[in-house]
Amino acid sequence: MSTPASPIGVLIAPVTPLQQNCTVVWCTKTNKAAIIDPGGDLDPILREIARRGLTVEKIWVTHGHLDHAGATEELKARTGAPIEGPHPDDQFWIDRIPEDGLRYGMPDQRSFTPDRWLHDGDTVTLGETVWEVIHCPGHTPGHVVFFNRQARFAQVGDVLFKGSMGRTDFPRGNHADLIHSITQKLWPLGDDVRFVPGHGPMSTFGEERRSNPFVGDRVLAGAQG
């Protein structure tokens, strides 16, 4: 997805039986990379990173669910990169990763302790790029989104999908909080923002405002009316 003028490059790798989008983003000036949501299947991702001549500088986690975070501890052991995120309200999800791994047939998944918990309004750096951290509870209470304003790009985890939105029936999920996160925190970033969701294809905030059957503008206007 990178172009000569783009400050970042993006590589999406669906991992685990749940086909979660583990995303590699990198600073195109320095080739410093972050791996976002390392749920599993690390070997092919690390091989591709090496093939592209990238260096893993950071590990970023949007939320504590097994498919997004289950291989985080292993990745830190293999790369030495610090873990940033999620928000501390997802501690209980991180703690139950080994238990959930047994339930879903992924017995090697481990819990971890972030080197840095993230909060709304924080920034994280990658090479020469700066990313904004946006706390977006609803799917989980400690879910965060990573936004690069210069590239007009966001990694939104399981907050929003192309044509759908995150589930809120898990422990401490909250439907009203999720709607608020999407409409009051993501939409104001701009219709032109491209995003990688936790599962499935990329989209833009503008496209979802026009056509999403759960959080599109007309759908929500009708619900309020």
When pLDDT is averaged across residues 68-75 and rounded to a whole number, the result is 98
When pLDDT is averaged across residues 99-113 and rounded to a whole number, the result is 95
Query: pLDDT (tens digit, 9 = 90+) per residue, 160-191?
Result: 999 999 999 999 999 999 999 999 999 999 99
| Cβ count near 201 (within 10 Å) | 11
Beta strands (DSSP E) in the chain are: 8-15, 20-27, 32-36, 55-60, 83-84, 123-126, 129-135, 144-148, 153-157, 160-161, 164-165, 194-197, 203-204
Q: In a 10 Å sphere around its CB, with 0-12 CB exposed, 13-18 middle and 19+ buried, how is residue 171 labelled?
A: exposed
Q: pLDDT class for 3, splitting at 50, 70, 90?
A: very low
| 107 token code pair | 């017995």
DSSP 8-state code for residue 206: H
pLDDT of residue 2: 45
* Domains defined along the chain, listed by start: 8-158 (3.60.15.10)
Average pLDDT, the chain: 96
pLDDT of residue 216: 97
When pLDDT is averaged across residues 141-166 and rounded to a whole number, the result is 98
Considering the chain, what percentage of its residues have pLDDT values greater than 70? Answer: 97
Query: pLDDT (tens digit, 9 = 90+) per residue, 17-47?
Result: 999 999 999 999 999 999 999 999 999 999 9
When pLDDT is averaged across residues 137-154 and rounded to a whole number, the result is 98
pLDDT over 70 (residue 224): no
CB-hemisphere CA count at 13 Å for 190? 11
Cβ atoms 139, 168 nearer than 8 A: yes
Residue 194 three-state SS: strand
Round to whole Å and give the CA distance between 171 and 9: 35
Q: What is the pTM of this model?
A: 0.96
When pLDDT is averaged across residues 189-216 and rounded to a whole number, the result is 98
When pLDDT is averaged across residues 200-224 and rounded to a whole number, the result is 94
| 146 token code pair | 């990573």
Angle at CA of residue 179, ends 176 and 184, nearest 5°: 120
- CA-wise closest residue to 182 among 152, 224, 202, 154: 154
DSSP 8-state code for residue 156: E
- CA-wise closest residue to 113 among 98, 126, 95, 96: 95
Cβ atoms 112, 76 nearer than 8 A: yes
Whether residue 114 has a cis bond before it, omega within 30° of 0: no
Considering the chain, what percentage of its residues have pLDDT values greater than 90? Answer: 96
pLDDT over 90 (residue 125): yes
pLDDT of residue 225: 53
| Cβ count near 12 (within 10 Å) | 16
When pLDDT is averaged across residues 88-99 and rounded to a whole number, the result is 98
